[in-house]
Structures are given as structure tokens and as C-alpha cells.
Amino acid sequence: MDSFTRVLNDCCLEDVGYSGPWFTWEKRKFEDTNIRERLDRGVGNPAWWNLFPHFNLSHMPHSFSDHCPLLLNTDSRQRSPNLVSHFRLEASWLLENSCEDEVRRLWELSSGLVPIRLQQLS
């Protein structure tokens, strides 16, 4: 698993989110011991997101397999609702006179630990 995680990090790959049921795998031996997990995921890097800004990854219903099929639509106007937003700072923003004041204002309006505050800024 460490090697897989290292490859994801080396390639700047992150989970792209999804729409549909939260799980992609289900073990239905007995109703009272049914197990559901999200084992299957789509990943992308910033270059991929720039190529396909209107993608949607859907977890589809399964029938024969214990895994749900994943359907990737690269030209969807509906973004995956469970997508983690990726903030990208544009260098040109730093040239704007109001940039620093705007960041200060938004920082003061945000709360929590630094990662949460940074997420609120985006």
C-alpha cells in the first residue's frame, strides 16, 4: 500500500469525488451482516482537471458483481457533488492592488485550524 500511495503522491493524483451511492463494493452474505465500502475511486491531477473541467464520476448500480461500475463523463455540466475543491492561486492575482486586503478580510472572516481556514478562503 505504501508503494501505491507513493505513486499517487509522485503523480499529484487526488480523488476526483463522485455522485451516486457512497459505496462501490458490497458483500451481501446476509442482510444483518451486509458490508459496504468505497473501494473503487477515480483519481486525477491538476493537468487532467484542466483538460476536463466539466467531468462527473458516477457510482452506478451493480447487479452481478459485488463492485459498482464507475461511469466517467468528461463533458458533464453536473460536477460530482462529493468533489473536493482544489484551490489554485493564479500568479496574476498577486499583482492586483486589492489582493492582500481581500485575503486579510477573508482570513479574518474564517475560523478554525489553518487547513480549514485555507479551505474557507478558496
Element housing 66 (H / E) = none
Structural element, H or E, at residue 6: helix 2-10
Global model pTM greater than 0.85: no
- Overall average pLDDT of the 103-121 stretch: 72
Q: 68: left (phi > 0), else alpha (psi -120 to 50), else beta?
A: beta
Residue identified by cell 500568479 is: 91
Q: Over the stretch 19-57, which tens digit does the pLDDT of each residue have?
A: 988 899 988 777 778 899 999 999 999 889 888 888 899
